[in-house]
Structure 1
């Protein structure tokens, strides 16, 4: 029995030794194979692109036409939506009551002037008599007072004439400047009230203004652009409406006096020529500001990965055998490329194709562009 047990133990031991020897003969486990990627060196390059800002088209000069006297509209003397000249008659308001009041005021003025003439002759005669002590002093004083009162009454009558004459003038509304008039808010026969009824709006449209709001950090940049403007043909400022770009270029007219403390922004006004009147006040568009940069880091956008709102690229390390993930701060995208503001230096090598298969420390094998996965 003892011999049989020893034989069994010997067989088991031999099997264990054989298994152990078999394991030692197998090759050691290896890591994942290198990822095939395309890489390129980071270089500095000049870049030209447009920064874009929401813009609103404004009239440089715009006035609401309101009635300044009460009455009824008796005439409309323009075609809606057309250009009008300064001083051109636009609306007429019933003048009958104002003409009647004007004639009455003129008649009263003539009466007061006649009274003044009589008072003047009386006071001159009494003054001569007073020199010879031929009249009571009291009568002279009365004549002087009557003459002074007559002078005041003439002045009051003249003021009344001017006031009524102003009402007569206000009953005809004329264009305050050259511009385009809109659609009338009133029709013939409509009753209007002084200072309340809006008749129409007139605005200038050549040149025309474009307003944008920019962050206060850009004040210095726009101030320099305003100083360095050379001519109206400078293409630094262009106006776009979707895919359509306005042909004429603009220039900075005014930078507002102060920053809005609530938003930290400032308003800037530009002017654009508008000879064909295709730009209309109230239009919304995009102001495109051309920017030229020198020695900027520009890389293919496909080299960038995003994680939780942050952006990274893979930089090659260990003689291009592995990669390390690097956080970068991006600038403006230009077509298929993008400017890197921070995070990369000239001469470093980054992966531009195959980044979707990489992670921190991944081994890589550099390949030609057509061979990259």
Structure 2
């Protein structure tokens, strides 16, 4: 064979081998891909979520309002007489008793006024006694016809004037004694004192304004407003005997419930025309003085007799354009989206008015890992409350995610519910 023939034969052989490899390669890759995908599918674990059984508990319906605290008694202490402040025996911010001395003004001037008023009264009484004797003497002489009527009238008039002078002197003495008493300023109520606006040595008087404020903090009031319609509905129900018993509570700024239960003290006698609301005053015990006037609180009016309602963790509730919804796991171990109607918050839970039934399996953790229709593995938060899993085809209600557990039914997958 010539060299040209040998070269042509080798080139043809190489081309045939290359064509064979190119033709077989797609089938080889396809076979590898199918085997790898099947293995991955078989080995991929199902997403795991934490669930709990939907349960009901006693819940008292409640309404929330914004309220403000006020002292049950408030006294602004002012000076009624002018003078130099000698003493301030109380401690600012401390509890004081009724009648406790708060301020002492220099009493020297007022004591002198009392002495002067007493002397004036004594002089007026002496003059009255003399003029009364003259009146009686002229009365006797008039009866004997040895004195004229005019002389008797003059004596009687002088006696009457002396009586008026005595009464005026008594009034001056009483005023002087009052001023002397006003020099010592006491608290008319028991309560907590505020910050004093004056110090010892200052000249104070009626123009000095409020010297200190004393507040009675136990009990304490909480004022809030309700709408005119709510007020009318309550009054009509109360008149008909259908008004529920109300248990007032308050939530503080730190989101903690106040430990004392209050009561409705009064309802105002007028509606605010600017807001269309009427003020309601609650009264709360405040033995620890935790509440002080001016605090803003959340007023919670609850029924005294609770009713059974479904309560779920608030973290399980999601929101979309259609409204709130939750995810549940049906009897076949698949996730379903369920629209719900929610009510009041109960600490970290929320009341569900419509959309859920007791015994259903609610997704509470791992919500972001699953979508409706996905098959999942469930881990019950409380195994004692685990509901039974029912075959979806065995119950026509299962398609709606509301199948009832059937005693004795063995599930295909997932944990077995307790009783």
Q: TM-score of the superposition, structure 2-length normalised?
A: 0.61
CA contact (8 A) 1:55 1:210 kept: no
- Give the deviation of 1:237 after TM superposition: 3.5
Aligned positions, number: 322
Could you say which residue in structure 2 is the equivalent of 1:266?
279
Moved more, 82-91 or 164-173: 82-91
Distance 1:355 1:257, change over 3 A: same
Higher RCO (CA 8 Å, separation ≥ 6 residues): 1
Residue pairs, 1:338-349, within 5 angstroms: 338-341=350-353, 343-344=354-355, 346=357
Any idea what the Cα deviations from partners look like across 1:16-48, whole Å, max 9, x if unmatched? xxxxxxxxxxxxxxxxxxxx9999998765336
- Give the deviation of 1:126 after TM superposition: 0.6
Q: Matched residue of 1:211: which SS? A: strand
Q: 1:311 aligns with which of 324, 327, 350?
A: 324
Alpha-carbon distance in 2 for matches of 1:47, 1:369: 28
Could you say which residue in structure 2 is the equivalent of 1:10?
none
Could you say which residue in structure 1 is the equivalent of 2:179?
167
Residue pairs, 1:1-373, within 5 angstroms: 45-47=57-59, 54-194=66-206, 196-205=208-217, 207-216=218-227, 217=230, 220=234, 237=249, 240=252, 242=254, 248-252=259-263, 254-258=265-269, 259-261=271-273, 262-274=275-287, 276-286=288-298, 293-299=306-312, 301=314, 304-307=317-320, 310-312=323-325, 326=339, 328-334=340-346, 337-341=349-353, 343-344=354-355, 346=357, 364=373, 369=378
* RMSD, matched Cα: 4.5
Distance 1:226 1:64, change over 3 A: farther
Moved more, 113-122 or 194-203: 194-203
Alpha-carbon distance in 2 for matches of 1:123, 1:148: 10
Distance 1:185 1:105, change over 3 A: same
Any idea what the Cα deviations from partners look like across 1:62-108, whole Å, max 9, x if unmatched? 21111111121122222223332222222111222222222222111
Alpha-carbon distance in 1 for matches of 2:319, 2:131: 98
Alpha-carbon distance in 2 for matches of 1:307, 1:148: 95
Q: Matched residue of 1:80: which SS? A: coil
Stretches of structure 1 that go unaligned for 5 or more consecutive residues are: 1-35, 230-235
Distance 1:225 1:114, change over 3 A: farther
Q: Matched residue of 1:81: which SS? A: coil
Q: TM-score of the superposition, structure 1-length normalised?
A: 0.68
- Give the deviation of 1:225 after TM superposition: 10
Distance 1:99 1:144, change over 3 A: same
Distance 1:89 1:60, change over 3 A: same
Alpha-carbon distance in 2 for matches of 1:348, 1:260: 49
Q: Matched residue of 1:77: which SS? A: coil
Alpha-carbon distance in 1 for matches of 2:178, 2:243: 48
